[in-house]
Amino acid sequence: MSFFVLPSTLQTSTSGTYQPTILRRVEYGVGSLSKLADVLRDLSISKAFIITGNSLATKTDVIEQVKTAAGCPITAVFSSMKQHAPIDDINNAIEQLKQTGSDGILAVGGGSPIDAAKLVIHFYKEQTGILLKLISIPTTLSAAELTIIAGYTNEDGNKVAKKASEIGSSAIILDANLSLNTPNRLWLSTGIRALDHCVEQQYRPNAPIPVRALAREAAGILFESLRACHKDAKDVEARQRALIGAWLSLWSDDRIGPLGPSHSIGYQLGAPYSIPHGICSCLTLAGTIVVQTKHLPEQEVKQLASLLPFVNTSSSSSYGGDTHEQAMKVAGAVKELIADLNLACTLREYKVPQSDLDGIVERALPDGKSDKRYKDFLEFLHAIY
């Protein structure tokens, strides 16, 4: 598989803007946590505050590994961050942070604690005028560490997002050793979340060419590595490849905006019905590709079809057919992968009332019921009920 393929389908989009985030450094590889002390010195962090989740803090030795590797005082560990980053947990973390005199934050875990840490930085600056730096150490494949967007659950129980250049990670450590205690269903499902990024980068408005090209490469890495992780949950090299795939799926991009309907529908499903981020993508991704193939402009369907050589499965072994047929083969490959990983599921399993589906689609689409895709997305959600 060649790197940075620029197929003929992209040659009408060879201008644009790419602007990097504040990310300064990524350490990656098995054992790369050993670089943490050097990263902290590089960022002039001498007293670090850790944000993580309860399971990681109490059921594994990951936080102890991080403390040992830091080589500087850890002022406190806030380990009460729950799924979908509730605003009450974020506020509690800020209050604890104010008492510690910390000059930097370590976010350790999945998308929720990492997104929460970004929001803690944002609100802490609003309240104190001090901007802290963030080092993110992920133990799932959600890739939250790579964006300047953070999602949280507000007081009404709705998932909302904040975007600001200042809240991105200044450094990231991608060490698969730290993921070995992550339950494999969580690991694999967040891998589908990363694959969701790969797909939606192809039609994200104004996505830069390098970001799209890296996302296609990431799709191939994820297809291979997730199957290997499913076969052997302790295959640390496969897990490291999956972390690299997640990194490439959501390359650091300061101009990033909303990705697409698979994500927006997932936001409507996640917090209100307590469905994990990764499972939301398992529910929505394949069907979204089908609907988007029907409605997107031809150039963007070509972008979707450009994923086909990278998704190496039996359903995609032939690259024949027109652009729409190729894009539909991508949908078939995604559906097959989700089934092979034993991640196929339904909305009924998560107790989503069928009567809510209309409102879910209406809120997810920018033009609500007036959106030309509304009927097709509603039919899709009924099909996976």
Structure tokens at 267: 């936001």
Per residue, what are the HEC states of the chain? Answer: CCCCCCCHHHCCCCCCCCCCCCCCEEEECCCHHHHHHHHHHHCCCCCEEEECCHHHHHHCCHHHHHHHHHCCCEEEEECCCCCCCEHHHHHHHHHHHHCCCCCEEEEEECHHHHHHHHHHHHHHHHHHCCCCEEEEEECCCCCHHHCCEEEEECCCCCEEEEECHHHCCCEEEECHHHHCCCCHHHHHHHHHHHHHHHHHCCCCCCCCHHHHHHHHHHHHHHHHHHHHHHHCCCCHHHHHHHHHHHHHHCCCCCCCCCCCHHHHHHHHHHHHHCCCHHHHHHHHHHHHHHHHHHHCCHHHHHHHHCCHHHCCCHHHCCCCCCHHHHHHHHHHHHHHHHHHCCCCCCCHHHCCCHHHHHHHHHHHCCCHHHCCCHHHHHHHHHHCC
pLDDT of amino acid 108: 97
CATH class of 183-383: mainly alpha
What is the pTM for the complete model shown?
0.93
Residue stretches of the chain with pLDDT short of 70: 1-13, 312-320
Cα separation, 100 vs 132, whole angstroms: 13
pLDDT of amino acid 358: 97
Nearest-10 crossing angle of helices 323-340, 209-231: 30
At 197-214, the pLDDT tens digits run 999 999 998 899 999 999
Q: How far is CA 202 from the centre of its chain?
A: 15
pLDDT of amino acid 312: 66
pLDDT of amino acid 82: 87
Cα separation, 148 vs 168, whole angstroms: 5
Residue type, 45: I
Residue 266: how many other CB atoms lie within 10 Å: 25
pLDDT of amino acid 15: 83
Nearest-10 crossing angle of helices 261-273, 374-383: 50
In a 10 Å sphere around its CB, with 0-12 CB exposed, 13-18 middle and 19+ buried, how is residue 257 labelled? Answer: exposed
Cα separation, 123 vs 140, whole angstroms: 25
Q: Structurally, what CATH architecture does the domain formed by 25-179 represent?
A: 3-Layer(aba) Sandwich (3.40)
Q: How many CA atoms lie within 13 A of 326 on its CB side?
A: 20
- Residues with Cβ within 8 Å of 231's Cβ and at least 6 positions away in sequence, in order, are none
Q: How far is CA 356 from the centre of its chain?
A: 25
Residue closest to 152 by CA, chosen among 114, 126, 125, 185: 114
pLDDT of amino acid 2: 39
CATH 1.20.1090.10 positions along the chain are: 183-383
Cα separation, 329 vs 222, whole angstroms: 17
- Residues with Cβ within 8 Å of 260's Cβ and at least 6 positions away in sequence, in order, are 199, 200, 203, 204, 288, 292
For residue 86, the cross-strand partners are: 153
Contact assessment for residue 105 and residue 121, using Cβ atoms and an 8 Å cutoff = yes
pLDDT of amino acid 13: 62
Query: 118-148: buried (b, 16+ CB within 10 Å) or exposed (e) per residue?
Result: bbbbbbbeeeeeeebbbbbbbbbbbbbbbbb
First to last CA, the chain: 37
pLDDT of amino acid 205: 87
pLDDT of amino acid 204: 92
pLDDT of amino acid 169: 97
